Amino acid sequence: MITAVVLSEDRQRAEALQAALSPAVTVFTGRLDSSASVLPENIPVDLFVIDGEPMTEAVIRAVEQTRALHPRSLVVCAASEETSERARAEEAVSPDFWLITTGSATQVQAQIGPLLALVADGYRRELMEAETEAVALPGGGPSWPGDGYLATTEHSLYRMIRRVAGSADLEELFTAYCDAVQEATRCVSYCLLWREAEGKEFVVVRAEGLPPLLRDATRLQASDPLPLCLQRNRGVVTRENLVANRLRAGILRDIELIGGVLAVPLLSQGVLRGIMVVGPKALGTPYTAAEAEGLFTLSSSAAAAVCQAELHQELAARNKYIAQVLSTMESGVITLGTEGKVEVCNPYAAQVLNLDAEECVGGNLRSLPSPLGDYLYACLVHGEERSREEVVVLGGRVVLRISTRRLMDARGVLIGSMLLLEDITTERALQEERRKVERNEVINQIVARVAHELKNPLVTVHTFAEVMPKQFEDPEFGQWAELVRRDVRRLDDLVTKLMSLAESPGSDQQVVQIPEIVKLAMTRLEQLDETASTRVISRISGDLPMVRVDPSVMAAALSHLLRFGLGDTQERVTIEAKLYNGASGDRPVALLVRAAAALPADDDPQKLLDPSYVLEHPDIDLGPSASQRLIESQGGVLEVTREASGILFRILLPPYPDPARF
């Protein structure tokens, strides 16, 4: 253990220098005029750091006094670069080293490192020399001093074990151990140092008969001589033996600094966890080998108890952390043990499933709503894991999204199964409400679209109704009558499209030829547009198989596509039929309708079959979307693709199996 004293009149600079030295060094602080009294007597000091900013007469006297009273210690003067250069030139003060403090804290700490290395180097050399010599306990005297001491030691050990049995409180364990040591040895002082499991520093946790200054500031590094010696030898170290073997500067110095004459290791699984440094006896007699052995026995038992308590506290802290995480999770967790008992049910799961968490834990899987218990059991026994499945429980009132997983320990042994659940009842209700709103919105759009489509034909009908009584004998009245009939047919066609979208069409399927369907479609089309027959080019040729469909339904679907292709322009539409090579090896009958209908370059022509897309674009006819519904009702498929000349509609119908063809 390296000790250092910081002397300064400025509190902030003293704290900064102390921080630069810690935690590798035991640091004490004092004023410039207290270099002789800052520590108790007989406490060796390795390093004095004297604040020399500003360089006053008090600083000069402090350096001189420290050099005189502690000739074996290193004296360092901390000052700015300008102050140190002026002091060197005037030869006002001559410390062993100068510490330049005008840089950053990292730069100051980098300068202190070599100084500490000089002190530690002496310890290392002495420790290497000590390894070549056996550290033996003092000889002489009987192995046990007598039945009285044996009884006292056994009684102290029994009382300590009885106090620590079943206790997980570290403070209680440390107190019981120190009381047992004091009872067995009748020592005037002791100091117990302990370190954490992953720590590199031993700190004082219990002390008796030690000055408060030492009790608060003393610390040992794991690399210091005394901890290294106890770790390597795994036995008791006494001051008497160290003096006899002339090992004073390293291990002995650490023991004497705490005012002890005997150091006992507290080992757990071969690792040094603590050090008990015991002072002299009240009667002044030396410790014998039997007493050292009794202390070692007490210390071994205490180390095991403390390590078990630390492990218990660590597990308790982890369990508390896990319980806190589970209690704050916004999803449910239920686990099933290998014995078929529920081991975990967090508050979220209990609330969603309307369970009492305390009653559920420890019960069997039947305490869970069906089918959750069955899912957990199937995952545990058969390894049937589920991922994000939706389950309805509690009579349809709750909708859950669940996942199940097997649980394994670190060795891969099955220890249970786990179910994660999330209540999506509100989410599903919101989705249903959103669907209703969207459906109502579509209906509103359809109504607006129908009103727009019906407006123009109704104007014609209304005008015809007004002039009919007056113009019945007029030769031109026949033209008006024909116009009215055409608009009425257009209204009928529009209503047919809307009915195709709104409800499933009736079906009276028959085995028919493709030309018959085309002929019916052309008849419907000519009723709406007299010029349609001159602009539709039919290329129906070849011996095609018959199909089983409702002729009127298929004719309506085909006429919708042809009318969409004709539009309001004078472009031509071609229609042809042939056998099509399907992707799965089948050969359906294909009706191909090619039209010059234009679409934006960035639009997918497949959107023509989506009613929502058509409603968003009032200039696009409802025909293709209505045709798709009609064709699918007959077991067919409607495809639409873009070609260089326009749009291609492909109607695929399964051929009727005619035995005469095969």
What are the tens digits of pLDDT across the range 250-261? 777 788 777 788
Give the burial string for 428-460 (b: 16+ CB within 10 Å, else e).
eeeeeeeeeeeeeeeeebbeebbeebbeebeeb
pTM, full prediction: 0.43
Strand partners, 98: 77
Show which of 264, 284, 313 is a domain's final residue.
313
Greater confidence (575 vs 32) lies with 575
The confidence band for 249, taking pLDDT boundaries of 50, 70 and 90, is: low
Q: What is the pLDDT of residue 192?
A: 92
Beta strands in 171-312 (DSSP E): 190-194, 201-208, 219-221, 237-238, 262-268, 271-278
Percent of the chain with pLDDT over 90: 2
Q: What is the pLDDT of residue 145?
A: 40
Domain count along the chain: 5
Domain that includes residue 283, residue range? 147-313
Greater confidence (244 vs 391) lies with 391
Note whether 508 and 639 are same-domain residues. yes
83 half-sphere exposure, CB direction, 13 A CA radius: 18
Phi, psi dihedral angles at 577 (to 5 degrees): -135, 140
The confidence band for 458, taking pLDDT boundaries of 50, 70 and 90, is: low
Worst-scoring range by mean pLDDT, 59-63, 120-124, 490-494, 543-547? 120-124
Domain-located, residue 82? yes
Worst-scoring range by mean pLDDT, 13-17, 322-326, 640-644? 322-326
Note whether 161 and 308 are same-domain residues. yes
Note whether 103 and 32 are same-domain residues. yes
Show which of 260, 281, 313 is a domain's final residue.
313
Note whether 446 and 540 are same-domain residues. no
The confidence band for 472, taking pLDDT boundaries of 50, 70 and 90, is: low
Q: DSSP class of residue 505? A: P
Distance CA 301, CA 298 (A): 5
Q: What is the pLDDT of residues 218-235, one digit of tens each?
A: 888 888 888 888 888 788
Domain-located, residue 449? yes
Strand partners, 417: 336, 406
Residue 360 has pLDDT above 60, yes or no: yes
Residue 265 near residue 272 (C-beta atoms within 8 A): yes
Q: What is the pLDDT of residue 146?
A: 42
How many angstroms separate the Cα of 73 from the Cα of each of 325, 590, 593? 54, 105, 105
Mean pLDDT of 462-467: 61
Domain-located, residue 142? no
Note whether 174 and 296 are same-domain residues. yes
Greater confidence (410 vs 655) lies with 655
Note whether 584 and 627 are same-domain residues. yes
What is the rounded average pLDDT for all residues in the chain? 77
Note whether 638 and 530 are same-domain residues. yes
Most confident of 95-109, 225-239, 549-563: 549-563
Greater confidence (83 vs 489) lies with 83
Note whether 186 and 228 are same-domain residues. yes
Mean pLDDT of 606-624: 73
Burial (0-12, 13-18, 19+ Cβ within 10 Å), 168: middle
Question: Do strands 97-100 and 74-79 pair parallel, antiparallel, or not at all (unpaired)?
Answer: parallel
Please name which of 485, 486, 502 lies closest in space to residue 450, comparing C-alpha atoms: 502
Q: What would the two tokens of residue 448 be?
A: 């607006």
Residue 326 near residue 350 (C-beta atoms within 8 A): no
Q: What is the pLDDT of residue 21?
A: 83
